[in-house]
Amino acid sequence: MLEVNTKKHLDELIKDRDSWKTNCIKIRKGVAPVLDLISPELPGDQPRAPKLTLVEKAQRAWDWLQQFVKDAGEFASAHVLSMVRAHYPLVDLSQLERGYPKEVGPQEVDDLRVGLLDLSSTVIGDINLCGTATPLTSPGQIGWPGSCRGRPLQEMGGRR
């Protein structure tokens, strides 16, 4: 009787182990691309690229995500400002460093933001931060390899 119970218990343990292994593989497949996107690591083919395990990457992910969001915000802002400069080359953009004019109150600032959300989505929509854009057909297109995630952000004025 003891042998039968031991065999049954062992079979259940093996089944649980296999289930855990399957779930861990699914988690790895889902998490690894996100960690690779936000990771500041060098590509694997570059010399001295650190080889971090998935667990090490996950432990550092929060800091990486915060830096990635900051970099993305800076890049998006630079993208918008470069478009403003292209359309209005005589506008003194340095005035923006002071923020909104004093006569523009908090409610008016919110109203301005809400009123520009659709345009903002359109302007920012052509930035490819995640490498998932539709195929581009010419080097003149925004997002062509060599812009944003297609080239290191340090070349674009960011950390990466």
| Residue 153 pLDDT > 80 | no
Q: Which conformational region is residue 133 in: left (phi greater than 0), alpha (psi within -120 to 50 degrees), or beta?
A: beta
**Amino acid of residue 57:** K
Total structural domains in the chain?
Answer: 1
Q: For 61-77, how does the pLDDT look when each residue is reduced to its tens digit (9 = 90+)?
A: 888 888 888 888 888 88
What residues contact 79, with CB distance under 8 A and at least 6 apart?
Answer: 123, 124, 127, 142
Residue 79 inside a domain? The answer is yes
Is residue 94 a part of any domain in this protein?
A: yes
Q: How far apart are the first and last CA of the chain?
A: 64
Look at residue 106 and tell me if it is in a domain: no
In a domain, 142, yes or no: no
Q: Are 38 and 65 a contacting pair, CB within 8 Å?
A: yes
**Predicted TM-score of the model (pTM):** 0.55
Cα within 13 Å of Cα(62), Cβ side: 1
- 156 pLDDT more than 90: no
61 neighbors 35 (Cβ within 8 angstroms): yes
Domain that holds residue 4: 1-99
Is 118 inside any structural domain? no
**What's the mean pLDDT in 11-31?**
86
The answer as to whether 18 is a domain residue is: yes
Would 87 be classed as within a structural domain? yes
